[in-house]
Structure 1
């Protein structure tokens, strides 16, 4: 059976080969060896976590920082910067401004998470270095209303953000272009 693509629909093909050459790697490592600091655009685009969460007035910056780390642990994507996770929890801040019950739920949830982290690891949740240790703590609270509220908000806050879609390999809606069958149905490389 022969299939054809519509005139305006182009299929994207992902190259699965590494793009770093041996010569390029050696050139970059040579700069590091002589003490030259290389500032990449990605480094410039990633503000410190404290700067990202400073605008959280109702929840407070410390609670927001913990929620960002928690967000990264619940939906881990190494390619995404903290900025996208901060954007994903911003609706929680907005809800906390307008609803005392939500604010208390989130603040008490973070306080309880930090207490469990201190008891088990001697430091607050956001300061635990190993992701596996943080995930262990999250598994103990995954049935709580706090965890469910944060996870539920993250699903839409993170994955409904059109800016994040290309970073995850999602090309957006395809129905108006003939569907996915002929337009990259099988080209997601992160699964």
Structure 2
């Protein structure tokens, strides 16, 4: 898989991915925020926290986990985990 580029909608952070799909990485950032919510901590800090998962060794498991998470969200009527309220 080639590198991908991901930027937040509000341009608060941008990230180049090397092994994960950009949408997978964005979901991983949101999962981290949902598990450890801090209103005064910006997304860019969550990006730094999960960047270590963007490796060739970790990518297959992360991609499978995010696909399962998205499937569960779709089963509840959402387009993906990122589209859940």
TM range (shorter): 0.7 to 0.9
Gaps of 5+ in 2: 1-9
Distance 1:80 1:47 in 2: 15
Deviation of 1:47 (Å)? 2.2
Deviation of 1:66 (Å)? 0.2
Deviation of 1:58 (Å)? 0.4
Distance 1:112 1:125 in 2: 10
Match of 1:68 among 13, 17, 29: 29
Tell me whether 1:47 sits opposite 2:15 in the alignment: no
- Structure 2 residue aligned with 1:59: 20
Partner of 2:17, secondary structure, is coil
- Structure 1 residue aligned with 2:61: 105
Distance 1:112 1:59 in 2: 15
Q: TM-score, normalised by structure 1?
A: 0.37
Deviation of 1:127 (Å)? 1.4
Gaps of 5+ in 1: 1-45, 130-191
The higher radius of gyration belongs to 1
Distance 1:74 1:123 in 2: 20
Quick check: which one's strand share is greater?
Answer: 2
Q: TM-score, normalised by structure 2?
A: 0.80
Partner of 1:121, secondary structure, is coil
Deviation of 1:128 (Å)? 1.1
- Structure 1 residue aligned with 2:5: none
Where does structure 1 differ by over 4 angstroms across 4 or more consecutive aligned residues? Answer: none
How large is the RMSD of aligned CA atoms in angstroms? Answer: 1.5
